[in-house]
Amino acid sequence: MIKNYIITALRNLRKNKAHSSINIAGLSVGMAVAMLIGLWIWNELSFNKYHQNYDRVAQVMINQNFNGTIATGVAIPIALDAAIRKNYGSDFKHIAMVEWTDAFIAAGAILITLLTVSVQSIKAALANPVKALKGNE
């Protein structure tokens, strides 16, 4: 009986090639998307479970309003440290505030240096293009 079903299915596949290929491609894409969504959900639900007290680990985020657009970020005011310790200190054994100031200062200094050198080079090239192309002799 199963042999008859397979023969009938193969005949229909050969007879309606375009329709069959569209159906098979759609089924394949649908199954792939469903598997990716399932893997994504599994990853989100199993994130950071290696920590012994993973259910007690938290990250504080802040919502800020910039000209009517609300942005969410992890950079919170340092003054919030005291409020978190006062209001939620009993809920957590450790509260760690991470400071990114040094990295931002270094990146800003490099950016200012690059912009300064670029602006000076452009000014020199515009002032005397022939000399700028010849370089130092």
**What's the whole-number average pLDDT of the chain?**
80
pLDDT for residue 105: 67
Does some domain include residue 123?
A: yes
Does some domain include residue 126?
A: yes
Question: Which residue, among 18, 22, 20, 1, has the nearest Cα to 10 in the 3D structure?
Answer: 20
Q: What does the block give as tokens for 133?
A: 């192309």
Does some domain include residue 78?
A: no
Q: Which of the residue ranges 38-47, 68-77, 79-88 has the most confident prediction, judged by mean pLDDT?
A: 38-47
Q: What does the block give as tokens for 76?
A: 């919170």
Does some domain include residue 70?
A: no
3-class state of residue 116 by DSSP: helix
61: Cβ contacts below 8 Å, ≥ 6 apart: 72, 73, 74, 76
Higher pLDDT pick, 48 / 7: 7
**Mean pLDDT computed over 56-71:** 80
Question: What is the percent of the chain with per-residue pLDDT over 70, rounded to a whole number?
Answer: 82
Query: Which element (helix H / strand E) includes 15?
Result: helix 2-15
Q: Where are the alpha helices (DSSP H) in 16-136?
A: 17-45, 80-88, 101-127, 129-134
Cα-based torsion angle of the residue sequence 126, 130, 135, 137 in order, rounded to the nearest 10 degrees: -140
Decide if pLDDT at 3 tops 80.
yes
Are 4 and 10 a contacting pair, CB within 8 Å? no
Q: What is the domain extent for residue 137?
A: 100-137
Does some domain include residue 127?
A: yes
Are 57 and 65 a contacting pair, CB within 8 Å? no
Q: How many domains does the chain fold into?
A: 2
pLDDT for residue 90: 80
**Mean pLDDT computed over 59-87:** 80
Does some domain include residue 119?
A: yes
Binned at pLDDT 50, 70 and 90, residue 78 comes out as: confident
